[in-house]
A and B are shown apart, each in its own frame.
Chain A
Amino acid sequence: MEFYRALPEIFILGMACLILMVDTFIKQRRLVLTYTLTQLTLIAVFILSLMQFNTQTYIGFHGTFIRDHFTTLLELVIYLTTFVVFLFSRDYILDRTNLGRGEYYVLGLFSMLGMMVLVAAHSLITIYLGLELLSLPLYAMVAMKRDDGRATEAAMKYFVMGALASGMLLYGMSLIFGATHSIDLAQIAQMITTHHAQMPILMLGLVFLIAGIAFKLGVVPFHMWLPDVYTGAPTSVVLFVSTAPKIAAFAMAVRLLVEMLPTLHMQWQPLLILLAILSMGLGNFLAIAQTNIKRMLAYSGIAHIGYMLLGLIAGTQVGYSSALFYMIAYVFMALAAFSMLILLSRKGFECEQISDLQGLNTRSPWLALMMLFIMFSMAGIPPFIGFFAKLSVLEALINVHLVWLAVVAMVFAIVGVFYYLRVVKVMYFEKPEVDDLIDWGLDRRVILSTNAMALLFFGVFPSGLYALCQYAFLGWHF
Chain B
Amino acid sequence: MFAHTILSLMIWIPVIGGLFVMATGGDHNATTARWIAVITALIVMFLCIPLYTMFDTSNGLMQFKEYLPWIPSLDINYALGADGISVPMVILTNFTSLIVILAAVKAIKKSVSQYMAAFLIMQGLMNGVFCATDALLFYVFWEGSLIPMYLCIGVWGGKNRSYAAMKFFVYTFVGSALMFVALLYLRLHAGSFEITKFYTLHMSMTIQVLIFLAFFAAFAVKVPMWPFHTWLPDAHTEAPAGGSVVLAALMLKMGIYGFIRFSMPIVPNANQSLDWLMIVLGLFAIVYVAYLAIAQTDMKRLIAYSSIAHMGFAVLGCFLVYSIIGMTGNYQDAYLSFEGAVVQMISHAFGSGAMFLGVGVLYDQMHSRTIKDYSGVASKMPVFAAFFMLFAMSNVGLPGTSGFVGEFMIILSAFRAHFWIAFFAASTLVLGAGYTLWLVKRVFFGPVVAGSGVEKLVDITLNEKLVFSLLAIGVLWIGLYPEWLLRLLHTSVNHILTISLQSRL
Contacts and interface: CB of A to CB of B under 8 A. Distances in A.
Interface in B62-116: 70-74, 114
Interface stretch (A78-86, A98-106, A379-387): A379-387
Interface in A401-421: 403, 406-407, 410-411, 413-414, 417-418, 421
Interface in A364-384: 365, 376, 381-383
Contacts of A462: 71
B180 A410 contact: yes
Contacts of B71: 388, 462-463, 466
A418 B170 contact: yes
Interface string B4-29: 00000000000000000000011000
A44 interface: no
B474 interface: no
B243 interface: no
Interface string B120-151: 00000000000000001001100110110011
B73 A425 contact: no
Interface stretch (B158-166, B341-349, B424-432, B493-501): B158-166
B467 interface: no
A166 interface: no
A421 B72 CA distance: 31
A44 B178 CA distance: 47
Given A421-B170, A466-B74, A403 B181 contact: yes
B73 A466 contact: yes
B169 interface: yes
Contact of B170 (A382, A414, A430, A467): A414
Interface in A389-443: 391-392, 394-395, 398-399, 403, 406-407, 410-411, 413-414, 417-418, 421-422, 424-425, 428-430
A470 B181 contact: no
A398 B166 contact: no
Contact of B155 (A381, A417, A429, A466): A429
B235 to A, nearest CB: 14
B165 A425 contact: yes
Nearest to A417: B173
Contacts of B340: none
A394 B181 contact: yes
B1 interface: no
Contact of A429 (B136, B146, B162, B181): B162
Contacts of B184: 391, 394-395, 398, 406
Contacts of A417: 169-170, 173
Nearest to B155: A428
B143 A398 contact: no
Contacts of B143: 381-382, 387
Contacts of A428: 151, 154-155
Interface in B179-219: 180-181, 184-185, 187-188
Nearest to B169: A421
Contacts of A425: 154, 162, 165-166
B466 interface: no
Contacts of B151: 424, 428
Nearest to B166: A421
Interface in A423-478: 424-425, 428-430, 462-463, 466-467, 470
B74 A392 contact: yes
Nearest to A379: B173
Nearest to A470: B73
A397 to B, nearest CB: 9
B177 A414 contact: yes
Contacts of B150: 421, 424
Contacts of A383: 140, 144
B174 interface: yes
A10 to B, nearest CB: 35
Interface in A311-344: none
Given A387-B143, A403-B181, A462-B71, A414 B165 contact: no
B154 A413 contact: no
Given A421-B170, A470-B73, A382 B165 contact: no
A410 B177 contact: yes
Contacts of A382: 139-140, 143-144
Contacts of B155: 361, 428-429
Contacts of A398: 181, 184-185, 187-188
A462 B72 CA distance: 10
Contacts of A381: 143-144, 146-147, 173
Given A382-B139, A398-B181, A403-B185, A429 B73 contact: no
A150 B147 CA distance: 38
A466 B136 CA distance: 16
B181 A410 contact: yes
Contacts of B146: 381
A365 B181 CA distance: 35
Nearest to B153: A429
Given A417-B173, A429-B154, A467 B147 contact: no
Nearest to A459: B140
A428 B162 CA distance: 10
Given A398-B188, A417-B169, A421-B166, A463 B72 contact: yes
A471 to B, nearest CB: 10
B396 to A, nearest CB: 36
Contacts of B139: 382
A398 B187 CA distance: 10
A422 B487 CA distance: 47
A467 B73 contact: yes
A390 B360 CA distance: 40
- Chain A to chain B: the 9 pairs with minimum beta-carbon distance, closest first: A382-B140, A429-B154, A410-B177, A463-B71, A429-B162, A398-B184, A382-B143, A425-B162, A406-B181
5 contacts: A392-B74, A394-B184, A403-B181, A428-B154, A467-B73
Given A410-B180, A414-B174, A421-B169, 9 more contacts: A382-B143, A398-B184, A406-B184, A410-B178, A410-B181, A422-B166, A463-B71, A466-B71, A467-B73
Interface of B: 25-26, 70-74, 114, 136, 139-140, 143-144, 146-147, 150-151, 154-155, 161-162, 165-166, 169-170, 173-174, 177-178, 180-181, 184-185, 187-188
